[in-house]
Amino acid sequence: MSNLLHLSPAGSGVHPDLLKSAGGFAWWYLDLIDEQGDGLVCIWSFGLPFLPGYASASRRGQPQLPEHRPSLNLASFKGGKLDFYVLQEFEPEEVFWDAAAEGDRWTFGQSTLESIQDGEERRVKLDLHLRMPDGQIATALMEARGLAVHHSGQKPDAAHRIIDPLPDHDWVPLLCNARASATLHAHGQTSTFEGRVYHDRNGGQRPMHELGIDVWTWGRLAFPSRELIYYVLHPTDASRPAQTLVLEIDAGGQARLVPDLQLRERRPAKNLGGLRWWPEQVLEREGQAVITIDNRQRLDSGPFYIRSAADARDLERDESARGISEVCDPARIDLDIHRPLVRMRVMQNTRPNSMWLPLFTGPRQGRVSRLVTSFLPGVNAAQQEQPAPRTREQR
């Protein structure tokens, strides 16, 4: 398998030493989606390439350490539209990572997260307390439990932590085809979700934009009988073929590669930011359509990244699926022309934020009034008086 993407041993974790690899990255991803296509996505990370200034520092020959750029992102969506969003960056002293033999536990400010292996099961719990631009705290609680993903005849092993040699782009699905519930409360609005959950992790010791990836598309589809994950990476070297990885995961957590399925990305389009994407995709076998994927409900659309609520149909099994799909162009991440737009969506506790942050952070309902209120005299001073996230010693 090429170095664009590597499927690592089942259940394996990342070694904390990765956080000292200049320009590297490590993130953990979890999404929940119900039968109507509503749900939420949470990403906790060190060295998230999307953070302002992170990729550009590497391009200047001054790469930052992942441990110096921790962040937590939570987004919910309803009816095919983004309903809540926050991307909060933390100071390194606010974040703790306990990498134990059975799995991982993290603290990001006032939020606690865990992804733990319990025998052949994996347990995930997120208890989030995220500060909004006006000083209020948004809370979210999610719990999931199910059979851990395993493949290649290997039992899932959370104690196995790869660091040397770590693949350029290391990927491990951890929990799929399982049920979860979540509650999100912010600015007097409460949303509840219950549905299928997907959980994985990615890591690498080199900057994402140096891995030779021109563009990648990823998706996870929650069919009634199984989970289907597809990852297609187009290399910057046009003489090389795209790398396609299709993974099918059954109710027992058993994952198997499906080598005879190929993704046909027909009729590409461009969003307002100039990013190439595919409103419709088809998984084919020997040129015959097997699964059609409709990505037209875009939840997040920017100059280097698009997330969509996917609606899929398995023509062979006569099954429908809801899911999430993504498109990313690493070379477009953190360009000077885009950075002011990205800063509008990143909440920082100890550094100045964009004046437009209230328009993009928090619930969709009421965002304009929150922006207007933030311009009123004395509001900024009142916000600065809000207590800072507690340190470990204070807890």
- State how beta strands 13-14 and 161-162 pair: parallel
Task: Tell whether the model's pLDDT for residue 392 goes beyond 60.
Answer: no
Q: So what's the pLDDT on residue 306?
A: 97
CB 37 within 8 A of CB 17: no
Task: Tell whether the model's pLDDT for residue 390 goes beyond 60.
Answer: no
Q: Which residues of 297-322 are buried (b: 16+ CB within 10 A; e: fewer)?
A: bbbebbbbbbbbbbbbbbeeeeeebb
CB 321 within 8 A of CB 30: no
Q: Let me know if residue 381 belongs to a domain.
A: no
For 190, residues 6+ apart whose C-beta sits below 8 A from its C-beta are: 183, 184
Q: How many structural domains are present in the chain? A: 1
Question: What are the pLDDT digits (tens) for 323-358?
Answer: 999 999 999 999 999 999 999 999 987 788 999 999
For 117, residues 6+ apart whose C-beta sits below 8 A from its C-beta are: 11, 102, 103, 123, 148, 156, 157, 158
Give residue 380's pLDDT band: very low, low, confident or very high (50, 70, 90): low
**Rounded Cα–Cα distance for residues 212 and 217 (Å):** 15
Question: What are the pLDDT digits (tens) for 113-146?
Answer: 999 999 899 999 999 999 999 999 999 999 999 9
State the pTM of this model.
Answer: 0.93
Q: Which residues pair with residue 234 across a beta bridge?
A: 215
Residue that is written with structure tokens 């590597």 in the block? 6
Q: Let me know if residue 85 belongs to a domain.
A: yes
Q: Specify the DSSP class assigned to residue 19.
A: G
Task: Tell whether the model's pLDDT for residue 223 goes beyond 60.
Answer: yes
User: How deeply is 332 buried, as exposed, middle or buried, from its count of CB atoms within 10 A (0-12, 13-18, 19+)?
Assistant: buried
Q: Let me know if residue 371 belongs to a domain.
A: no
Q: Reduced to 3 states, what is the DSSP secondary structure of residue 361?
A: coil
What residue spans of the chain are helical by DSSP H?
54-59, 339-343, 357-360, 367-374, 379-384
CB 9 within 8 A of CB 150: no
Q: Let me know if residue 391 belongs to a domain.
A: no
Q: Let me know if residue 237 belongs to a domain.
A: yes
Question: In angstroms, how far is CA 22 from the centroid of its own chain?
Answer: 21
Q: Let me know if residue 69 belongs to a domain.
A: yes
Query: Residues 249, 197, 263, 149: is their CA dihedral positive or negative?
Result: negative
SS3 content of the chain, % helix, strand, coil (to 5): 10, 50, 35
CB 98 within 8 A of CB 106: yes
Task: Tell whether the model's pLDDT for residue 389 goes beyond 80.
Answer: no
User: How deeply is 383 buried, as exposed, middle or buried, from its count of CB atoms within 10 A (0-12, 13-18, 19+)?
Assistant: middle
Domain encompassing residue 39:
6-332
Q: Let me know if residue 178 belongs to a domain.
A: yes
Task: Tell whether the model's pLDDT for residue 382 goes beyond 60.
Answer: no
Q: Average pLDDT of 240-257?
A: 93
3-state secondary structure 155-211: CCCCCCEECCCCCCCEEEEEEEEEEEEEEEEECCEEEEEEEEEEEEEEEECCCHHHC
Q: Let me know if residue 378 belongs to a domain.
A: no
